[in-house]
Structure 1
Amino acid sequence: MKILGFLLVLLSSYGLLGQISVDVANYSVEKLVKDVLINSNCAETANYTSATGTTEGLNGIGYFEANGSDFPYEEGIVLSTGQAKFAEGPNDDIHDAGSKEWVGDADLKAITGSDILFNASYIQFDFVPHTNHISFNFLFASEEYQENFQCTFGDVFAFILTDSNGVSTNLAIIPNSKLPVSVTTIRPGVEGECVGRNLPYFDKINGDDSAISFHGQTTSLTAESPVVPGDSYTIKLVIADNRDSQVDSAVFLEAGSFNLGYDLGEDRTVANGNPACITETIALDATVGGVVDYKWYKDNVEIIGWSGISKVDVVDSGEYRVELVFSESCVASGTLSAEFIPAPVIVQAPDPLVFCDVDGSAGEIVNLTVNDESILGGQDSVIYGVTYYLSSEDAAAFENAIENPEAFELKNASETIYARISSGNSCYEITPFEVKLLGLDFQSELQEEYILCVDAIGKTIDPLPLLNTGLSIADYEFTWYKESISPENEIVGATDASYSANEEGAYIINLKNRELGCSFSLSTQVVTSHQPNVFEVAFVSDPFTDNNTIDIIAEGDGTYLYSVDDANFSSENRFENLTAGEHTAYVTDIYNCSTLSEEFVVVDFPRFFTPNGDGVNDVWSIVGFPQIEDADVSIYNQYGMLLHQLNGNIGWDGTFNGKIAPSSDYWFRVDYTKDGERKEFKSHFSLKR
């Protein structure tokens, strides 16, 4: 028992390590700012203020530790619209501490344009940066990620940076946008209610064992801004409930992430669209007042020759870093990635492009990118690209490129196009070429759509659809493509006026008029029609009814038509008033690719028979007897005497004990099984002599 008790205590201790811990009593605002958030001497801070729900006995500001949990930050500051202590996991309750008596924040309302705010918590302080860039990491969490609240309700927060001129900016925005971070701007979405938004920045919906007690949370995000070294700034970190005081939210700030680094500028890389050419020099300037030493590194190796220099020239590819030493306890840094590439060359001047005006409209949609290959001439397409412009000035400025050169609307008889080869906004070459539009009297037999017939397992059924232009090979050159016009999509050997397609999809034929030299393209679509993979006849009516009814069932990837015997095909699959005896059911697709058939028998009985030896109606039997499951047929006279029992499909010849039965009405009973249930049918027929 002692061992068991020890294990329980141990397991309980491990359970406690699964959630963060929050301290709201032992950290002043100054301590939270200087020792937790910044933890650096690279900025002078002062004038620490805060506000939270103290009038209601609530504290929405605290220090947190990960406490061995999987929370992304080891420690930091939490600002909540409720009790900060309630941020501790697990997520086993919905928190909405605070009433409308706990007011909002005017600065937050102004910068976010929000509605009436409640339950605001904020920290504010002044700082003077030594460098030109600040950043810090944060994560937003909220109870409003439950149910469909995320579609309409969004508590708000902001990191309001105000410069010495009184100009304020919100740093709590979604990357590459101006949208503020909130439940409604970063959300997974609710089916039937609202779609997800900015999903890469949403982390997860929290379970019962989560590190924090909020229903959902974002990924770690970065707030950042350029600053002017030596200027004075105020930053306000504030959060509030929006529109009502219910359901809490919180923002977590990572300890030590308030980085006062140095921005050397945008990376100069192929991926960034602005690499440097090998003939260029990248000038890096880290000049800041108050620096006592500069240390430069390339790929983490110090460049001794640059020691103490604030301005350097970079001519080689690599990852560069500078450390600005203000004092032993204040060292700021900045990085820049540089890639140097050879200057592109135009290997072959592009040929003029001549297109045909096939409809007399004095305008055609043409593909300019057919010249890509000749302009690139084997240069790496991962590094270099070709863009097209209507003026040499735009091409040189890398502005106003033709947005869709694959479908350029050529309106004039002649147009000069300027092609630029470059790696984004880097060193480049420009070459012009002419694009001409010639009038052509043209008609083609190519249809908009063709049908490829396939069986139930997808195997093609002959004949294949013939995509036929109806044009003469003496007048045109033909090149067929699948899906799009590109070298890799060219159909090898397809150079005739027609093509037999064995796959579904889009087909494009490029035609060149031999007399005029102009080119244009036509397109068509090949769609498949499948045979049904299920084809059967189902009886709707019971045997021996006055209205014999069947359904023809066909299932598969197609649309089907139905027929019985020689009737015309229709979309109706139910057939009524069928006569007794043998029939044939047919199914085909709407394109008449192929027809499948199945024979069936309608069960019934003759109302009379004439056993007179003339070979016509000499025997009475059940029509379709083999189709009846487990059938027993008994025949009686008018007095209920059993005269005969049918054996299989062998009928009654009108005799009893070797004697001829008289003309009269006779009764019969059929016992049979249908759908697992035993059934009985009784009726009568006439014997005529």
Structure 2
Amino acid sequence: MKRVLLIFFFLLVSIDSFSQPITVDNTTYTVPQLVQDVLFGSNGPNSSCVGTVSNITWSTGSGSSSGTGFGSSNGIAYFQNTNPNFPLNAGVILSTGNAMSAPGPNTSTLSDGNNAWVGDNDLFNYINGLGIDPLLTDYNNATVLEFDFTPLTNQMSFDFLFASEEYGTFQCSYSDSFAFFLTNVTAATAPVNLALIPSTTTPISVVTIRDDANNNSCTSENPTYFGVYNGGANAATSATNFNGETVLMTATSAVIPNNVYHIKLVIADRNDTSYDSAVFLGGGSFDIGTADIVGTGQFDGLPDLSGPNAVCGSETVTIQAGASPIFGATYQWTLDNGVIPGANSNTYTISDEGNYCVTITYPSGCEQTDCMLVEYIASLPIGTPNPLVQCEAPYDLTQNASLILNGLSNTLTYHHSLVDAQELAAPISGVTSYNGTDGEIIYVAIEDDNTGCIVVTQFPLQIDTALCATGPIPQTPPNLVSCESSFGSGSAIFNFLPQTPVVLGANYSAADYTVTYYTSQSAADAGVSPIVPPNSFTGVNGQTIYVRLEDNVDPTSFGTTSFQLVVNPLPTASVSISPAAVCLNETTVITFSGTPNAEVTYSIDTNPAQTIILNGSGTASVSTAPVTAASTCNLISVLNPTTGCSQTLTGSATVTINAAPTIVTPTDYVVCDDSYNNDGFYCGFDLTTKIAEITGSDPNIVVEFFETSTSGSPIASPY
């Protein structure tokens, strides 16, 4: 019997919890506290320090931030909830009626608010501008909550649901409206409504989110977002006194950190003061980011650097409070409760373990503190390597391995840079025969097989010629410079024999020592495959020639050096004439093109050669004298004064003379004289009647008439 009673008791408790209405309170919190402590509150130590929220204003039926009111109901209140059928535990109500009437069960019609309680112009202009409610005349009983905030991240959001008495009977054609207008004050952008059906531009209302199961006079609209209908059998257990409500949704928007934003939350009755609606805002859901300390780089976003997130002993890490500095805020970092001098930005670079904290003081005067525990992993106990000093390369880099490992069995890798070593990137290959240079630093990385941490050490490579075996020391000859053999070949013929006395210098005679030339260092060291003959080698620009100076008595005693080949390209040029055909005694232009700044030699017909210098763009022009006969400009050669390279040229360009037209001397044109004729008119000449006679009817000949052979201008009207 006791078992049955116990089960019955839990059943009663379960039924009671699912029928529990919300509780509403409009005295515990002021409206600014509803914003700061409820909407932004997190029930933590910083819940009342919302440093970036300011300029809180409101308006409802019984008052506003300015102290005025409309002699009606208070539509702003705090609510709490334990009913699992209602998806919000606590928050803020914005109602078009009396917020205190919001608790369930759904046993009465909510139609609070008098006619003096006005609507909202912003909401009216927005909905009217969309053209979605053609019967809209005005809004009434508007409840408005506004404030400024500065986001700390690039995204803001908050949770809400919409409830209305219009669900059911009036859901087909009548809907109160609400909006969340967000404005970037810093960028002066236009307001954007965040109260939209997800993935659309449609405002949320009774007519845009409904289920035809509650009124089959119209079709369902976005029924996925309709939550609960509190009519009929559901009325007695309803958490609120509204007929229906949407599912819990999230208003969200991309934002720019540290810009000032203004948000206006507004809801109003459509066309009358009846059938109230409300927006329930989730307490603690207004997320504009936090300034919590997190790691960066490979520790990006980690709130602590201890335990499995501990820092390797050889690393430094930058930690930051928020994605970027908060405008107007000040920062102070501490280590183990001690102030770190000069650590006054939102970032700090650590190199020692301990408890790091930052205190942010907002412009409002409130403070927020966050801390991060940083632990360092002990580095491997490696040894110190020695410089590798040799007569010459190559080096065996592994000579330092035993010193570095210091009894460890880990793998070593060798690198050209510290960054590569720290990341185990681009290891040096051929470490037992590395062709290093004097003064080069070799970085050695050792990875801890247990922690993955990398320890880096380094040693230099040094050349000490005093360690070299006694042998001849050749003098280094200068680089050989030559012009390329043929235009565009990139190669030239070199004679190395003038280098030989330079290599021998004053200390070695040609009778006792032999100088040979090679294309590689290894060939020179081995004395194999010398360049033969050394006076006609075809080389390319930048090629290195290696020289071996060998003792004739002891061929194992030798020294090497090297020089480079420099191949200068041949210059080039071309010539053109424009126009290439002219009339007798007209002039034309000869244009030369080719290697910039080159000197071009040319001749015109059989006249003596002339030169012209091309400009920095590789062109030059000259005008001819009046042309009296066909003439040809012949290229002779081109010289680059900078390199001394030149080549002969064969190009040419010719100007010809166009043949003059053949005309016929016309017969005399006889008319009356210039006195009045019998009719009282002057006699005149129509000279154009002579054109066909003069040109022989050739349409390509243009005829002009002049009064004298010396007239400067033709007769304007020859008829």
Please confirm whether the aligned pair reaches a TM-score higher than 0.5, indicating the same fold: no
Select the structure of larger CA radius of gyration.
2
Question: Which structure features the higher share of strand residues?
Answer: 1
